[in-house]
């Protein structure tokens, strides 16, 4: 993050072939040179900006809405994935540093599957989604579309925080009213019915003990 501070903002890094992609908690994000669009955007938010907590979800809304406009039917999985037919089409990793009196920073990493060969899917170890329609698009045009959506969303986020995105996120939620479990390091922490997210981006879960607010931290959601 220190090194990011010396970059001009915004800075965009696009990898034709990403060889050490990361997910949350040190998990790996795998790609092939032509099969996955991978890029990172460093963005600075003005001093006194909103809590960074809902930022990964706001980014999900921006990317998902633009993919829908481009004709790809997608939904959101809490907290940070974009699904197509219930399988992961894109992953989002946001690393941020909130400043009180100074500006806040975020590096937003996105991996979007365009055309995933069977060997890569085997390596990932689960079925994933891709989007042949996007794979046919000019790569720079696609990137420009996504960046334009992000620019609008990040400006909105600086002014209003995640509250501007709650309804939009909930409209795209893949698991509304479905029974899900929340896992942490392989252990089930909670089981309940997913209701949607609140104004901070926490998942609202109806459990036998009442409604719980789940902070993303390092927990993962699994549909039952
Ligand atoms: P989970 O996917 O287990 O719910 P998560 O959403 O937090 O957890 P991330 O950290 O966002 O996972 O992403 C890393 C995970 O994504 C890897 O553990 C792997 O299962 C999966 N993965 C890696 N590469 C790809 C890819 N190209 N397409 C889809 N999924 C991938």
Answer yes or no: are the C-beta atoms of 43 and 154 closer than 8 Å.
yes
Per-residue DSSP letters for 134-181? HHTS-HHHHHHHHHHHHHHHHHHHHHHGGGGTHHHHHHHBTTTT-EEE
Please say if the pLDDT value at position 22 is more than 60: yes
What is the whole-number distance in angstroms between the Cα of residue 46 and the centre of ligand 1? Answer: 31
- According to the model, what pLDDT value does residue 6 have? 62
Q: Residues lining ligand 1, judged by CB closer than 6 Å?
A: 23-24, 27-31, 36, 80-81, 88, 91, 111, 113, 124, 126, 128, 220
Q: How confident is the model at residue 72 (pLDDT cuts 50, 70, 90)?
A: very high
Please say if the pLDDT value at position 41 is more than 80: yes
My answer on whether omega of the bond before 10 falls inside 30° of 0, hence cis, is: yes
Structural element, H or E, at residue 221:
strand 220-223
Q: How far apart are CA 82 and CA 112, in angstroms?
A: 9
Residue with tokens 């996120």: 169
Counting residues of the chain whose pLDDT is more than 70, the rounded percentage is 96
| pLDDT tens track for 87-98 | 999 999 999 888
Which tokens sit at 57?
């979800």
- According to the model, what pLDDT value does residue 86 have? 97
| pLDDT tens track for 110-132 | 999 999 999 999 999 999 999 99
Average pLDDT over residues 132-152: 96
Residue with tokens 């990932």: 124
Among the listed ranges 21-25, 57-61, 65-69, which one has the minimum average pLDDT value? 21-25
Task: Identify the structural domains of the chain with CATH numbers, from first to last.
Answer: 2-172 (3.30.930.10), 179-223 (2.30.30.100)
Please say if the pLDDT value at position 40 is more than 60: yes
Q: How far is CA 5 from CA 10, 45, 97, in A?
A: 11, 12, 10
What is the whole-number distance in angstroms between the Cα of residue 23 and the centre of ligand 1? Answer: 6
Task: State the complex-level ipTM.
Answer: 0.95
Cα angle 139, 140, 141; round to 5:
90
Please say if the pLDDT value at position 2 is more than 60: no
């Amino acid at each position: 993050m220190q090194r990011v501070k010396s970059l001009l903002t915004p800075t965009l890094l696009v990898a034709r072939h990403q060889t050490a992609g990361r997910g949350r908690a040190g998990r790996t994000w795998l790609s092939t040179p032509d099969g996955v669009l991978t890029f990172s955007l460093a963005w600075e938010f003005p001093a006194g900006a909103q809590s960074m907590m809902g930022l990964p979800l706001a980014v999900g809304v921006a990317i998902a809405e633009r993919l829908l406009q481009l004709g790809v039917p997608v939904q959101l999985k809490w907290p940070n994935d974009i699904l197509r037919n219930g399988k992961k089409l894109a992953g989002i990793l946001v690393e941020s540093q909130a400043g009180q009196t100074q500006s806040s920073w975020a590096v937003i990493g996105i991996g979007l599957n365009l055309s995933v060969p069977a060997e890569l899917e085997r390596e990932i170890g689960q079925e994933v989604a891709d989007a042949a329609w996007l794979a046919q698009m000019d790569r720079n045009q696609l990137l420009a579309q996504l960046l334009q959506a992000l620019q609008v969303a990040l400006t909105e986020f600086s002014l209003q925080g995640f509250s501007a995105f709650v309804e939009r996120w909930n409209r795209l939620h893949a698991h509304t009213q479905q029974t899900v479990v929340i896992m942490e390091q392989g252990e089930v922490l909670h089981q309940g019915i997913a209701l949607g997210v609140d104004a901070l981006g926490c998942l609202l879960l109806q459990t036998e003990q009442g409604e719980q607010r789940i902070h993303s931290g390092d927990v993962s959601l699994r549909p039952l």
